[in-house]
Structure 1
Amino acid sequence: MTSFIGRERELRQLHDLFSRKTANLVVVKGRRRIGKSRLIEEFAKDVKFFAFSGLPPMEEITAQHQRDEFARQLGRLFYIPIPYSADWSDLFWHLAHHTQEGRCVILLDEISWMGLKDPTFLGKLKNAWDLRFKKNAELVLVLCGSVSSWIEKNILSSTGFVGRIDLILTLNELSLHDCNKFWGASSEQWSAYEKFKALSVTGGVPRYLEILSPQLSAEENIKRLCFIQEGFLFNEFEQIFHDLFARRSDTYKEILSCLGEKPHASLDDLFKELKMKKSGILSDYIEDLILAGFLKRDYTWSIRNGAVSRLSHLRISDNYVRFYLKYILPNKTKIERDAFVDRSLTTLPGWESLMGFQFENLVLQNRAELHKLLHLDPNEIVNDNPYFQRQTKDQRGCQIDYMIQTRFNSLYICEVKFSKNPINVRVVEEMKEKIKALVFPKHFSYRPVLIHVNGVDEDVIASEFFAEIINFGDLINT
């Protein structure tokens, strides 16, 4: 097992549970490969630990198959004959019986798979918690899953579990600071630009970072993982989407494909592109993708009073998903013929535009580190997000990559700029045009900020236009 990296806050929250004098029920959710099970393993490494996992959803898998598998895992973990598995109540009784004393952690992993085809599963789990598990004041029961929408609907919003859940953890991608640790002793041999290229595919997903080889260049790693049919990421998308969304996976894929070529889109844009009538069904699908960690909804706001608007844009927030839809999926047949073995990635169509989208994602997912570099106290921030202003007869439309509004009536207007070459002085005029279009009260001040990955020309620095110029390497090392 690889050494554990990051998640210090989550580990502290989990360890604090043992200071209480009652049993604790925990929910952990997040996208596949984000490290949910690994976090619980790390938390439980010094106590008794019993992990169970459901069978991946397939049409032929029945509720009885799930119970049979759970019974087999019980038998193996406790060295007992495989229990009778006709009823979840009996299985939970066996588990509670063997964990009734001492510090122990029970993990029910991919819980939605376990209970998907048995409507009595959660009710019987609730009863087992109330009547059996809670009697061990040193027990932590963790319900873990990747189908966050199922957890939200069936556990977090269920009257059966109201008042019973002691801790809810939603795992997001690792910070750039933690991502940097995966390069280990080779970290100094990799430039910030090389690291960015690797992260443009992996994002901050721990499992993807683990399979990077620090001895290879970013391009060689990407080819090895994505552009040969044996590569780990070649079929990863199909696997995780089938496991998460089963027969509806094509619908979710179609939604993401519509967003793949754009930095963002409104819900109305999606209705038009998908040629769908306006209904709640598409909104439900989008909410599932947001809960699963593949999409983000960015709300704009009123600069005048700081109120968040109802207007929002959607964007793919998962770098691997966008990379897969852009370059792997359309080229699968060619990849299977080894057509990409000797091809430079920078010759792929739309490479620089895609890298720009991926760079923006990484910056937005690490805004806390950016705030530190800008010496901003979180308590001073009124709003921060990608900002857009709609065109009307009285104002021009404009889009700001990222903007921070403080309670001191200051706007930090951030240009997040990817370029394979050092950024030239044209960026100054581009930013001036955006600021000219932006409508804000006269008593506000503004500070332009440039965030880049591959250097800037001396003319940009000499212009003294930007209040701050931040290198991607600064974010990694914050």
Structure 2
Amino acid sequence: MFAGRKKEIKQVIESFSRTKGTLNVIRGRRRIGKTRLIKELPNFGKNIVLRYLTSTPPAEKMSDVDERRQYAEQVKSEFGLPYMPPHASWRELFSFMGDLCIEKNTILAIDEVNWLATKSAAFMSMFFELWENQFTRKKAFMVILSGSLSSWIEDNILMNKGFVGRISVAITLKELALNDLPVFFGARIRKTPTIDLIKMLSAVGAVPRYLEELDLTQTAEANLSRLAFDKSGFLHDEFEKMFYDLFSRENKFYRNILEAIGDSRELLTAKDLSAKMGLTYSGRYTQAIEVLEEVGFLRRQHTWDISSRKVGKKYVLRLSDNYTAFYFRAIAKTRGKGLVQPAPPRNLTSVLGLQFENLVHNNLAFILARLNIETRDVAFAGPYIQTQTTRRKGCQVDLLIHVRNRVYVCECKLHAGEIGRSVIEEVDTRIARLPKAKGVSFHPVLIHANTVADSVMEEDYFDAIINLGDGVFA
């Protein structure tokens, strides 16, 4: 079922103008639900007419003429025309489409715009001229440009001087929130053990298309075996399909970056990354990291100074997209080895434990709510790493949240069984290694997904013990 996206839908529908045309942008990784969101808009607004058109990945042998003809066929079908629309040029075709949108509250959605007219270098300048002279003058009319090639959209639309100030709403779709899942899955979710649900989410994230493949009547292990480690499974080679042409000419370079980070046992800096890839560090890496972070594939983990409350310039890189991380940590290691039937890796439990940390970070809003912390009060929230020196010992914290004079040290544990008292000693050791600052107090927090031993509860050591599974029904 369609779930979540209430904020995004409200933004889009309320952007309709009675006096002029509206231009909106929706972007995000493939499978995140951009198309579904667009097609659901008529169900949330009054008398909305949707005209939806999409593009396919460019083919080398297809000429600009062939692409225009193919697109014109789609226009003919969408508008129910008995004849082929004029398409001697892209301007002629798009102008004709605009003339066809005569009803009030019409949305003309151009999906995968980054793949459109790739053989026409002047396409975007043509579209801008058409917007200025025709589309913007249409009352109660909206154009939505949508795509998964985020860097292209950034360069050609959002940062294009011609479009600055003309875009009403720009949305980057992220994963669903945990509390969207009951609507998505329906009643079956209440019969699913929390630990199984969290394990599956840890592997694939709350990406709508991946959630559709989960069978909640099966265990997490059975689902992952079927989807990820069976050669015919949907997730077995999904990364290669998803990433194909996602970043155009830089596709191979960006993919190699994610593979290098995912395959490394140590956290890498940007320069470590270039060394691992056998290339000289340059601004090309910085740009690639920024793009991959914006889309949601990776996250820069900056250093944090508790005393000065400042983010450091240095950072290490982590994969933040759960499925991408799971692909390189587990699935990729079983592919291409001539196995008749790949099997889940022996360290699957520990891999899911690492994945659980990502799931926590992607649902930070729920954690902050449980700790009664307002987002505006957070100075820092993220993984924390402290390198070892002659004066201090090294330390890593799964999630550190700094709010005014309080530092919350969060330990993330994904155990099939109950969590025992040893977790107290682990967290206490970490806190002891953290630099102390005047007036700053440290507060241990345990985040889990199953059960916690009575001995841990009775100790009353943790300020809060949070079951991430509770976020599903929050």
TM-score, structure 2 as length reference = 0.93
Instruction: Identify the range of structure 1 (117-126 vs 228-237) with the bigger mean alpha-carbon deviation.
Output: 228-237
Instruction: Give 1:149's aligned amino acid.
Output: S
CA shift at 1:310, angstroms? 1.2
- 1:326-372 Cα offsets, whole Å, 9 max, x none, are 332232356872354xxxx4xx2322221122101110000011111
Structure 1 contact 55–69 (Cα < 8 Å) conserved:
no
Structure 1 contact 423–457 (Cα < 8 Å) conserved:
yes
Structure 1 contact 102–136 (Cα < 8 Å) conserved:
no
Q: Which residue of 2 aligns with 1:6?
A: 4
Q: Give the alignment of 1:272-311 within 5 angstroms.
A: 272-311=275-314
| Aligned-partner Cα distance in 1 for 2:291–2:346 | 30
Q: Which residue of 2 aligns with 1:73?
A: 74
Q: Which residue of 1 aligns with 2:456?
A: 460
Instruction: Give 2:274's aligned amino acid.
Output: F
Q: Which residue of 1 aligns with 2:403?
A: 406
Q: Which residue of 2 aligns with 1:444?
A: 440
CA shift at 1:263, angstroms? 7.4
Q: Which residue of 2 aligns with 1:415?
A: 411
CA shift at 1:29, angstroms? 0.6
- 1:187-238 Cα offsets, whole Å, 9 max, x none, are 1211110101211222010111122223333222222222223222222111
Q: What RMSD in Å do the two structures reach over aligned CA positions?
A: 2.0
| Aligned-partner Cα distance in 2 for 1:392–1:327 | 33
Q: Which residue of 1 aligns with 2:465?
A: 469
Structure 1 contact 192–473 (Cα < 8 Å) conserved:
yes
- 1:421-469 Cα offsets, whole Å, 9 max, x none, are 3222222111111111111313111110011123222222222221111
Instruction: Give 2:226's aligned amino acid.
Output: R
Instruction: Give 1:361's aligned amino acid.
Output: N
Distance 1:382 1:239, change over 3 A: same
Distance 1:54 1:83, change over 3 A: same
- 1:291-330 Cα offsets, whole Å, 9 max, x none, are 3321122323322232222122211111111222233223
CA shift at 1:178, angstroms? 1.2
- 1:21-56 Cα offsets, whole Å, 9 max, x none, are 432100101000101111111113452111111121
Question: Is residue 2:24 matched to residue 1:26?
Answer: yes
Q: Which residue of 1 aligns with 2:206?
A: 204
Q: Give the alignment of 1:91-240 within 5 angstroms.
A: 91-240=93-242
| Aligned-partner Cα distance in 1 for 2:411–2:126 | 53
Structure 1 contact 415–451 (Cα < 8 Å) conserved:
yes
CA shift at 1:86, angstroms? 3.2
Question: Is residue 2:383 matched to residue 1:386?
Answer: yes
| Aligned-partner Cα distance in 2 for 1:274–1:320 | 22
Structure 1 residue matching 2:259: 3-state secondary structure: helix
Query: Which of 323, 331, 335 lines up with 1:332 in the alignment?
Result: 335
Instruction: Identify the range of structure 1 (106-115 vs 258-267) with the bigger mean alpha-carbon deviation.
Output: 258-267
Q: Which residue of 2 aligns with 1:50?
A: 51
Instruction: Give 2:37's aligned amino acid.
Output: L
Instruction: Give 2:63's aligned amino acid.
Output: T
Distance 1:387 1:326, change over 3 A: closer
Distance 1:476 1:10, change over 3 A: same
Distance 1:317 1:44, change over 3 A: same
Equivalences, count: 469
| Aligned-partner Cα distance in 2 for 1:298–1:146 | 24
Query: Which of 350, 353, 356 lines up with 2:350 in the alignment?
Result: 353
Instruction: Identify the range of structure 1 (18-27 vs 72-81) with the bigger mean alpha-carbon deviation.
Output: 18-27
Q: Determine what percentage of the aligned residue pairs are the same residue.
A: 37
Structure 1 residue matching 2:246: 3-state secondary structure: helix
| Aligned-partner Cα distance in 1 for 2:388–2:155 | 38
Structure 2 contact 406–440 (Cα < 8 Å) conserved:
yes
Instruction: Give 1:14's aligned amino acid.
Output: V
Structure 1 contact 53–109 (Cα < 8 Å) conserved:
yes
- 1:154-198 Cα offsets, whole Å, 9 max, x none, are 111111211111110010111111134333111121111010121
- 1:68-94 Cα offsets, whole Å, 9 max, x none, are 222111111223322332311101111
Structure 2 contact 243–251 (Cα < 8 Å) conserved:
yes
Structure 1 contact 386–403 (Cα < 8 Å) conserved:
yes
Structure 2 contact 17–140 (Cα < 8 Å) conserved:
no
Q: Which residue of 1 aligns with 2:270?
A: 267
Instruction: Give 1:277's aligned amino acid.
Output: T
Distance 1:163 1:219, change over 3 A: same
| Aligned-partner Cα distance in 2 for 1:212–1:356 | 19
Q: Which residue of 1 aligns with 2:63?
A: 62
| Aligned-partner Cα distance in 1 for 2:338–2:359 | 27
| Aligned-partner Cα distance in 2 for 1:33–1:309 | 34
CA shift at 1:280, angstroms? 1.4
Structure 1 contact 108–142 (Cα < 8 Å) conserved:
yes
Instruction: Give 1:441's aligned amino acid.
Output: A
Structure 2 residue matching 1:137: 3-state secondary structure: coil
Any stretches of 5+ residues in structure 1 without a counterpart? none
CA shift at 1:251, angstroms? 2.8
Query: Which of 29, 35, 38 lines up with 2:36 in the alignment?
Result: 38
Instruction: Identify the range of structure 1 (178-187 vs 135-144) with the bigger mean alpha-carbon deviation.
Output: 178-187
| Aligned-partner Cα distance in 2 for 1:284–1:63 | 30
Q: Which residue of 2 aligns with 1:372?
A: 369
Instruction: Give 1:421's aligned amino acid.
Output: G
CA shift at 1:248, angstroms? 4.2
Any stretches of 5+ residues in structure 2 without a counterpart? none
Q: Which residue of 1 aligns with 2:426?
A: 430
Distance 1:192 1:111, change over 3 A: same
Question: Is residue 2:394 matched to residue 1:397?
Answer: yes
Structure 1 contact 412–449 (Cα < 8 Å) conserved:
yes
Instruction: Give 2:415's aligned amino acid.
Output: S
